[in-house]
Amino acid sequence: MNLTPNVAEVRQVEERKTGKRSTREWQQMDAAHHLHPFSDAASLNAQGCRVITHADGVYLWDSEGNKIFDAMSGLWCVNIGYGRKELAEVAYQQMLELPFYNTFFKTTHPPVVELSALLAEVAPEGFNHVFYTNSGSEGNDTVIRMVRHYWASLGQPSKKTIISRINGYHGSTIGGASLGGMSYMHEQGDLPIPGIVHIEQPYWYANGGDLTPEEYGLKAARELEKKILELGVENVAAFIGEPVQGAGGIIIPPSTYWPEIQRICDQYGILLVADEVICGFGRTGHWFGSQYFGIRPHLMTIAKGLSSGYQPIGGVLVHDQVAKVLAESGDFNHGFTYSGHPVAAAVAAENIRILKRERIIEKMREDVMPYAHKLWHDAFDNHPLVDDVRTLGFFFAVTLVEDKASRKRYANGGELALRCRDICFANNLVMRATGDSMISAPPLTMTRAEADEFVAKAKACVDQLARELGRL
């Protein structure tokens, strides 16, 4: 069975629609009409965008015919890899059958029902309900409204404040960006909104000082306890965190962190929200990051890997404890036109069926994951330019450092990482620079041979930067 799309066929269809344009033309039209997310328009347009035209497996192709290793799975989402024809077929069939209907007014449709039941099956014990959105940001906006509605329904309307973390990422809507702890996002538009406060992130390498990672993990978690006591528990609704911080730079918390957070949430009776937008659907080698860390959340935000990025869809998985209260508290005045969109739901359901049927997560965890971890550590553990070499599931990261013994970072580390990312681009490897870290999250379907290629390329790029800096 040939599951990969016929690339030549796809290209023909594309050219029939648009005529055959040159890269330069695409770039000029893009510069003239398209505002990019998280980009400096002037410098982007001066340089010209890279134009990605098609993809298959772990590879992208650009309009110049370059074959590029996508070690970021798009934006942490194409967990299943590119080019799965089944997903295209499911979308096509669903569009013919029922391209849209809403789920607002006493109505449902088969794809959203099937997806909801599948999610209850793969989610941890007690998660039997889901509220749909189009994105992770909207999922987290939903979390804000849902936890406040929950407490109000229980007669505790003062429990409104949500505690999150500096350098956490929870999306880019006003709510999502407020929950997030990115100061450069807060600066634009007077964020965070009231009722959201931030505590320290569990980033031992940066903040741990002389403490062991385990000691520091407890200290960072106890910031939550301090904050709850400072605000008054009668005012605190929830704590939200990513099991592993993704956009913040693949920050893996010390082993003591999540158990202590769990203890504190339990002791004070506040809701625990796991933002599983990146960690969910296999990234950690388990269906959910909460399972990897043994976290027992009340809500889990999902998006990205839910559909492997083939359709925009997100949502909030709701634990029975919360669902029970919501079920008895009248209207929840919240929702989106496209909540549970039939095409997106059908594609997400098929994505989950493929993950299950092909045991993609289990196979990755048992085989390529440990293999690739070893490759990564062999490549970087003794590298002169990098430290804090980290792997977890299909997360891979290193930090560029000036001196390993003293954990001394470069003052211009961010600049150097961007330089390294450009070297990666020039060598047809997509990795991301976050602060002074080089990070990556390849598709879960990466083979051993592809892992060899990925790590060899990543090392060659870091080597090149090290040579340019006279460190190699």
Ligand X SMILES: *Cc1c(COP(=O)(O)O)cnc(C)c1O
Applying CB under 6 A, the residues found at the interface with ligand X are 76, 135-137, 140, 169-171, 242, 246-247, 275, 277-278, 303, 314
**Least CB distance to ligand X at residue 181 (A):** 12
Smallest distance from ligand X to CB 248, Å: 9
Residue with tokens 């009248």: 330
460: phi then psi, degrees, rounded to nearest 5: -60, -35
Q: Is 51 exposed, middle or buried, given 0-12, 13-18 or 19+ CB atoms closer than 10 A? A: middle
Closest approach of Cβ 340 to ligand X, in Å?
Answer: 16
Task: Assess contact for 244 and 278: CB atoms under 8 A.
Answer: yes
Instruction: Report how far residue 278's alpha carbon sits from residue 170's, in angstroms, rounded to the nearest whole number.
Output: 10
Which tokens hold the place of 453?
């290629």
User: In terms of CB distance, is 244 or 375 closer to ligand X?
Assistant: 244
Of the candidates 401, 398, 403, the residue with the CA atom closest to the CA atom of residue 421: 398
Report the residue number, 69 or 76, with the smaller CB distance to ligand X.
Answer: 76
Min CB(99)–ligand X separation in Å: 22
3-state secondary structure of 177: helix
Distance of closest approach, residue 375 Cβ to ligand X, in angstroms: 25
In the bound state with ligand X, the residue whose beta carbon lies nearer, of 139 and 402, is 139
**Closer CB to ligand X, 306 or 379, in the complex:** 306
Helix, strand counts (H, E) of the chain: 19, 16
CB nearer ligand X, residue 81 or residue 246? 246
Residue nearer to ligand X on the CB measure, 169 or 281: 169
Burial class, 471, CB count within 10 angstroms (exposed 0-12 / middle 13-18 / buried 19+): middle
Residue 171 or 442: which CB sits closer to ligand X? 171
* The CA-based dihedral angle spanning residues 144, 136, 398, 438, taken in that order and rounded to the nearest 10 degrees: -120
Whose CA is closest to 250, among 209, 312, 298, 201?
Answer: 201
Shortest reach from residue 113's CB to ligand X, in Å: 23
Rounded to whole angstroms, the Cα distance separating 346 from 352 reads: 10
Shortest Cβ 168–ligand X spacing (Å): 8
Q: Which is nearer to ligand X, 119 or 455 (CB)?
A: 119
Smallest gap from residue 345 Cβ to ligand X (A): 16
Per-residue b/e over 282-308, b at no fewer than 16 CB within 10 Å?
bbbbbbbbbbbbebbbbbbbbbbbbbb
Q: Which of 223, 171, 227, 232 is nearest to 201 (CA)?
A: 223
Tokens for 374, please give them.
């070893």
Work out how close the CB of 169 gets to ligand X at its nearest, in angstroms, rounded to a whole number. 5
Residue among 350, 349, 363, 354 at smallest CA distance from 446:
363
Cis peptide before 192 (omega within 30 of 0): yes
Q: How far is the CB of 306 from ligand X (least distance, A)?
A: 10
The tokens describing 91, both together, are 């979308």
Least separation in angstroms between residue 277's CB and ligand X is 3
Structure tokens at 27: 């770039």
Side-chain-side CA neighbours of residue 77 (13 Å): 18
Instruction: State which H helix or E strand residue 456 sits in.
Output: helix 448-468
Query: Could you tell me which residues are beta bridge partners of residue 162?
Result: 196, 238
Q: What is the CA radius of gyration of the chain?
A: 22
Which residue has the CB atom at the shortest distance from ligand X? Answer: 136
C-alpha atoms less than 13 angstroms from C-alpha of 93 in its C-beta half-sphere: 11
Residue 111 or 314 with smaller CB distance to ligand X: 314
- Residue 180 beta carbon to ligand X: minimum distance, rounded to whole angstroms: 8
Residue number, 265 or 278, with CB nearest to ligand X:
278
φ, ψ at 53 (rounded to 5°): -110, -30
Nearer to ligand X, 94 or 307 (CB): 307
Nearer to ligand X, 55 or 441 (CB): 441
Give the amino acid at 232.
G
